[in-house]
Homo-oligomer: A and B are copies of this chain.
Amino acid sequence: MAVKERMAQLAGKVAENAREIDEKSVRRLIGELDRAKSVFLCGAGRSGYVAKAFAMRLMHLGFNVYVVGETTTPAITDRDLLVAVTGSGETHTIVGMAEAAKKRKARVAAITSNPKSEIAEFSDSVVLIKGRLPGTREKDYLARQLKGGHEPLAPLGTLFELSSMVFFDSLVEELMVRKKRGEDYLKARHTQLE
């Protein structure tokens, strides 16, 4: 199969995942973002890069925003929001950060595929984003692929990560419209030093 076909397939899976998003959960997340004095993002591995890509746009949009683990990120307070990105909902360091944030009485929003995860349980708001169907075995995937199957292989958290990235950029659009902040506004905040 051509790589461009695989790419269209993956984009199609993201579009399918979009249909499953609960719009009410998105409104709750927007409310949390609006009420927070500062927004903190965290995620591990590729989910961490997705979290950072969103954090950068929030900065462009004029939010006070920090990434946990970066140099100048201050202490979180009870007026702040931590947005934790974890497909499994069970990444040790991320769950630990969310717990620490709760202890300091910050609000916590989880972006996860796993509604039954500990982090989904104790977060103040949760946006569920589908990853690969649970129980879908990788061997079956590879077997089908090798026979010319029409399912993306999308190993490990790939579908969650891509869907979350596109979800956050959709949220950025919504925030632009709500705050009437166009591209010029974002551009003025974009670093010029690199």
Contacts of A40 in B (CB 8 A): 193
B173 x A153 contact (CB < 8 A): yes
A83 on the interface (CB 8 Å rule)?
A: no
A11→B177 CA distance, assembly (Å): 19
A12→B10 CA distance, assembly (Å): 11
Interface residues of A (CB under 8 A from B): 1-12, 14-15, 18-19, 21, 23, 26, 40, 42, 44-46, 49-50, 52-53, 55-60, 65-76, 82, 91-94, 96-97, 100-101, 104, 138-139, 141-142, 145-146, 152-156, 158, 161-162, 165-167, 169-174, 176-177, 180, 182-184, 186-194
B26 x A18 contact (CB < 8 A): no
Tell me how far the C-beta of A133 lies from the nearest C-beta in chain B, rounded to whole angstroms.
14
Contacts of A156 in B (CB 8 A): 60, 183, 186-187, 190
CB-nearest residue of chain B to A58:
B72
A97→B154 CA distance, assembly (Å): 27
A139 x B182 contact (CB < 8 A): yes
Tell me how far the C-beta of A99 lies from the nearest C-beta in chain B, rounded to whole angstroms.
9
Contacts of A76 in B (CB 8 A): 191-193
CB-nearest residue of chain B to A190:
B75
Residue of B75, B101, B186 near A155 (CB, 8 A) is B186
Contacts of A67 in B (CB 8 A): 70-72
Tell me how far the C-beta of A65 lies from the nearest C-beta in chain B, rounded to whole angstroms.
5
A52 x B71 contact (CB < 8 A): yes
Contacts of A177 in B (CB 8 A): 142, 145-146, 153
Tell me how far the C-beta of A151 lies from the nearest C-beta in chain B, rounded to whole angstroms.
10
Known contacts A45-B56, A67-B70, A189-B74; decide if A10 and B166 are in contact (CB<8 Å): yes
**7 nearest CB pairs, A to B:** A138-B183, A6-B170, A49-B49, A7-B18, A11-B15, A7-B170, A11-B14
